Amino acid sequence: MEKIISMKNIYKLIIFGLLCCLAAGVFSQTPKEVYKELRMKNVLYPKIVLAQSILETGWFKCDYCSLSKNNLFGLWDSKNQRYFKYDDWRQSIDGYLNSIQYKYHPRKYSSYYDFLKRIGYASDPKYISKLKSIVKKINEEII
């Protein structure tokens, strides 16, 4: 015998699913929240780093990217050939600081963009121009 699911039960399932996503860290960050956290953790060039997180995660909406691992920056574990996984998106900021920003020395690079390009942060040849475009949007609309 088939059971008919009432609309009330469907709504309960939807709410349960949303709560599970929130508990898992999905949908929990906004650009403003990430920017605030970047500044609290003394990340250098927080607008550029925010732009990196936006670009890497498709404005925090991607389904099949590092965001599912609470990894805002697409930080890659080359030893195990997978994205690093974090319990919370805020931990990925620590991962960025410890695996990327510690290498930055202002005297070696003409800008932070130059640093990202020279360390080979991304394989996309248009990565830096995309970042600059997002930073412009951040300045105009977000921050």
Q: Is residue 46 part of a domain?
A: yes
- The pLDDT tens digits of the residues spanning 96-119 come to 999 999 999 999 999 999 999 999
CATH of the domain at 120: 1.10.530.10
Look at residue 137 in the predicted model and tell me its pLDDT.
Answer: 95
> Does residue 133 form part of some domain?
yes
| Residue 102 domain flag | yes
pLDDT at 91 exceeding the cut of 70? yes
Residues 2-30 have pLDDT tens digits of 555 554 544 444 444 434 444 444 546 79
Q: Please choose, from the candidates 31, 66, 71, 68, the residue with its C-alpha nearest in 3D space to the C-alpha of residue 50.
A: 31
Q: What average pLDDT does this structure show over 76-100?
A: 96
Domain count, the chain: 1
Please count the other Cβ atoms lying within 10 Å of the Cβ belonging to residue 9: 11
**Quick check: is 104 in a domain?**
yes
Residue 36 structural domain: 29-142
pTM score of the predicted model: 0.79
Q: Decide: 95 and 82 in contact? Cβ < 8 Å.
A: no
Asked, for residue 84, whether it belongs to a domain, the answer is yes
